[in-house]
Amino acid sequence: MESLIITPKNKVEQKLLSDLLAKMNVKVAVLTDEAKEDLGMATLLKEADRTKKVSKETIMSKLRG
């Protein structure tokens, strides 16, 4: 089953939407900003090209400078 992500404008709108969905027996999950960032990072990692290898020296030189 697919999901919808709805971002209310304020707390009042969030409460109204949550109450409406509860009356419709629709399950509601609230995502924190941190959880949204985690989902975004997971998506990026999933799409990353893992066929290329980078040497340890290249990584270390990037971190240093």
Q: Token digits for 37?
A: 């960032």
Q: Domain count for the chain, please give it.
A: 1
The confidence band for 61, taking pLDDT boundaries of 50, 70 and 90, is very high
Look at residue 18 and tell me if it is in a domain. yes
Note the pLDDT tens digit of each residue in 15-58: 999 999 999 999 999 999 999 999 999 999 999 888 888 899 99
Look at residue 59 and tell me if it is in a domain. yes
Look at residue 37 and tell me if it is in a domain. yes
Look at residue 28 and tell me if it is in a domain. yes
CA atoms within 13 A on the CB side of 51: 2
pLDDT of residue 49: 82
pLDDT of residue 18: 94
pLDDT of 65 strictly over 90? no
Alpha helix locations (H) across the chain? 11-23, 33-47, 56-64
Look at residue 6 and tell me if it is in a domain. no
Confidence (pTM)? 0.56
Look at residue 2 and tell me if it is in a domain. no
Domain that holds residue 21: 11-64
